[in-house]
Structure 1
Amino acid sequence: MTHKGSRVSIGTAVTAMAAIAAMGAARAQHMPSEFVVSGEAAAAALDSGGINLDTAKAIGRVCARLAEERGVAVSVYVLDNDGNHVYVHRMDGQVWTNVATAEMKARTAHGLRAPSKSLMNQATRNQAVEWREMELGLFSNAGGLPIIVDDRMIGAIGVGGSAPRLAEGWSDEICAHEAMAEVIGPQQPLLEDLPRQRPAEQLPTAQFRAEAPPEATLSSEFVVSGAAAARLFDANQISAAAAVAVTDGCRAWIEGQGGTASIYVIDNTGLAVHAERMDGQHSHAMETALLKAETALRGRGPTSSREAGAHNNPGGYPRSVTLFGFYSVAGGVPVVVDNQIIGSVGVSGTDGHDEACAVAGLEAAFGDRATVPVY
């Protein structure tokens, strides 16, 4: 009887899953498919309402181009309709706070289903609002916008890292707004910018700058250079262009295998530089890709070695995970070029080819100058 009941439960579950997929397909028919995950990828993810990688990437690239035209740098986070990472890009010279606030703005816009500036304006009128909303993890600053197509939110974008010059028509929010208008089409007008109250007596702000860019051991095609390196006090961080090249190489390789991947590239301090989640990938793949990149960076070696170590010496596995926070699954490889570590890459979701995809990305970007795992 129990066995028979189990079969009924499984059949019911399958029917329910089919119904959910059908509902998702019906919903997708009312939304332009060029902007959202569709087809087999939507079926794999059981979600047809989230922004696809092509759209997220296009918006991010336009925003980066607009920033470059203004002579500034920005960090961009694009989330899907469930609040998961789809696309991340950090231009050279951006520091931790720039990257962190970009994600916070995106999450605030996603949670509110409204521009993050709406919360900033409330806090401007009543400072107690900001304290209250911080307890909810919301960020009272402009730069986050929901991504809406045909009255449906398909994701959210957050831009951080550049000082607003409203009189000149520039801010993080304007960057996001203009990028979405160029890629998706006309957007709703931005909210009013309320003047923020500041003390009449301003304290002096310390200047802390490098007199010249630090010396690099690698070519500027691979690492941050010039004024960006001077701002970071580091000339051995992987550049945004090189991180994109690693991602492109991995993505091209896995597409050649008929698969998809989630790819995360971080710098030599562990800060996000570039990340992409291909359509059909589940959100946890992006999370584990980051964990692999972080583990490879901290351990200064491929995570496949830790996976093998967990098998060869299972007694050490709990210690490695619990005390050190390592993620002992293959797919993370340090980015070492000409014997210099400049970052790390993590890949997940390829059904057994994570490390091979990471290596393909490294070889595409750096050729035989990259150090790769050898067995």
Structure 2
Amino acid sequence: MKSGGVFPEQGIPWRTLEQELSEYQSGEMPYERGVFERYWPAYPDEAYLASRSAQSMFAHTNLFSMNALPSLKRVERELREMVGEILHVPEDGAVTLTMGGTESNFLAVKGARARGRAMGITRPNIVIPMTGHPSFDKAGDELGVDVRRIEVDAEFRAVPSRMRESVDENTILVAGSAPSYPQGVIDPIEELSRMAADSEVWMHVDACVGGFLLGALREVDPATPRFSLDIPGVWSVSADLHKFGLCLNGISTFSVRHRDLQSLHTYTLPEPGWPYRGYQRIGFAGSRPGSTIAAAWTTLRTLGREGYVRAAASIHRSARRLAEGIERIDGLRVDLPPEAGILVVFPEPEVDLESVSSAMLERAWDVSTALAPPSLHILLSPHMEHIVDPFLHDLREAVAQVRGEGPRATTAFTYGD
């Protein structure tokens, strides 16, 4: 075993390592300045502190051995039950906990492919809007499924009639977003579900961003559309607990209308398939940290319905204030209503947004940009209303600076950088 580089020859005391980690973090952006992108979402203090304590209580546990840990088994079951209540999962339905939204969407494609195979489909395809998440392409590449991306309308929403034209006898799944990540708008899920039902195709909703916001937001703004399994034609929903579920990172959900659909993303290797014992896992992962499950359980129990409604109301207020303030900045406009925690800002032709993003970074604000069409992409969090005014002040200055100086050299980045 080689040592002497980063890997030390002898162990280092925690206090020394703690100081080293603090030094690593010292040059990073202050938390409140980064909540629109790199630190999103901002967690309510009471839920954050409680979930960290729960996480440490279960830091040694592995969900693979859940039957040997009755406490963890109960926590996991109750977490799935809470998710089921929030997302309107029927009694005959099922919730699978995953590590992230990509895995959740992957399971939807995997389940639909298995169903398609049973129907004799050998060259499967899925039909999604142009704004659908890249995880569908990733799943398609890995599973041998063709992904058909269909142009959206002027508001960047899926157009059911256009998508219907691409559905054929080999289509195994149709998907919509609630909301789409690039522009933050909600696809017409009810119309898409009727179209999918007419074609007898699996209808999946990617609500990884909005799944744990939209239900609470309906109590604040009744115009918020339905998106989940309370719509009869929806077969499955993916929703990230680590986004607007406000849970610590590393946990998403994949919910299906009928329990037998869960068997389509369950892997079984019966005895004597290998020398140990029979193997069965629901979902993709084998080992999973019990600490993440305990932290999420604690967040949902700490906040409760009232806590999520308060968070949704705060996001709603911040979105309106930001949109109104940005509309008053010469050179910027807000063309789309901020429906689900994402605010998208479009420029006038003379304003280079990459330069604006760079100028905001100089002012210690982290704001990302989308490519097509060019736009600022602002992710909202609850209880951050006190930073709206300073953010608008600096954004106004940044736009004026860029308009005066012209475009600057910027570094290209990819989604997730």
TM > 0.5 between the two? no
TM-score range, shorter chain: under 0.3
> Going by fraction, where is helix more abundant, 1 or 2?
1
TM-score of the aligned structures, taking structure 2 as reference length: 0.25
TM-score under structure 1 normalisation?
0.27
Which structure would you say has the larger RCO, counting Cα contacts within 8 Å and 6 or more residues apart? 2
